[in-house]
Amino acid sequence: MKKLFICITILLSIPIFASEFKGRCVSVVEGDIVMVMREGREIKIQLWGIDCPEIEQPFGKKAKEFTTSLILGKTVKVVTQDRWKFDLPQAKLYLDKTYINLEIVKVGLAWYHYWLAPYESDLDSAEKEAQEKKRGLWQTPFPVPPWNWRIGKRSGKVTDPGKDWVFIVRRDKRYHRYSCKYVRYNIIRTTVQGAKLMGFTPCEVCKPEKE
């Protein structure tokens, strides 16, 4: 496990030169992954600060359709960020003055990826509003964040683990029972395994591991 985190830390800290260019969006791979032309080459880009549901997840296809309807075939401004997510350059995308990453969060078709991009207050508040108004994926009571979904997929456990659910909240490194006093806003449901993989520890107040 330590290895995974060291690996992620290294990947997250490779600086690239922030740059800006304009290019036509020639393909939408997923809601948050697009191909843009740059000097005659197709570049694969991950939208900065957001994480759309995977295609097999609820609202995954909707997210792809939404991004497609916004920018496919159009010339967008790509502002790359100085961090890579796994192997892809991350960028803010603009169509004229419209900030595409933000639009996707606003309609409830992406999570704000707060633990990879912790200082994006516009994405943060757009997500809060989408949750309150139950837009898109927030219509379901406890949508599974794609980062947890991917962990489940790797371990071969994507089905509902029932009583194994625990709850985490923003900017807190502990996991809780649903009844815990710390579980109030920005609640994310996950499994004990998922929480541990992300480096969370059991809450000392609600003791989620004891029956």
CB of 200 to Zn ion, least distance (A): 11
The residue range among 8-16, 73-81, 163-171, 201-209 that interacts with Zn ion, by the rule CB under 5 A, is 201-209
Residue 206 near Zn ion by CB under 5 A:
yes
CB of 104 to Zn ion, least distance (A): 32
Residue 71 has a CB neighbour count (10 Å cut-off) of: 21
Q: Which is nearer to Zn ion, 136 or 208 (CB)?
A: 208
* Burial call 52-69: b when 16+ CB within 10 Å, e when fewer: bbbeebebbebbbebbee
Q: Is 132 helix (H, G, I), strand (E, B) or coil?
A: helix
Q: Which is nearer to Zn ion, 37 or 187 (CB)?
A: 187
Residues 81 and 90 sit within 8 Å (Cβ to Cβ): yes
Residue 205 near Zn ion by CB under 5 A:
yes
Residue 28 near Zn ion by CB under 5 A:
no
Of 23, 93, 176, 190, the one binding Zn ion (CB under 5 A) is: 176
Of 25, 45, 104, 180, the one binding Zn ion (CB under 5 A) is: 180
| In 31-186, beta strands by DSSP E | 33-38, 41-47, 50-51, 75-85, 88-95, 98-99, 111-112, 165-169, 174-175
Q: Is 5 helix (H, G, I), strand (E, B) or coil?
A: helix
Residue 203 near Zn ion by CB under 5 A:
yes
Count, residues near Zn ion per rule CB under 5 A: 6
Q: Which is nearer to Zn ion, 106 or 176 (CB)?
A: 176
Q: Which is nearer to Zn ion, 97 or 181 (CB)?
A: 181
Ramachandran class of 159: left when φ > 0, alpha when ψ lies in -120 to 50, beta otherwise? beta
CB of 172 to Zn ion, least distance (A): 9
Residues 92 and 77: their CA atoms lie apart, in Å, by 8
User: Would you give the end-to-end CA distance of the chain in angstroms?
Assistant: 26
Residues that bind Zn ion (CB under 5 A): 176, 180, 182, 203, 205-206
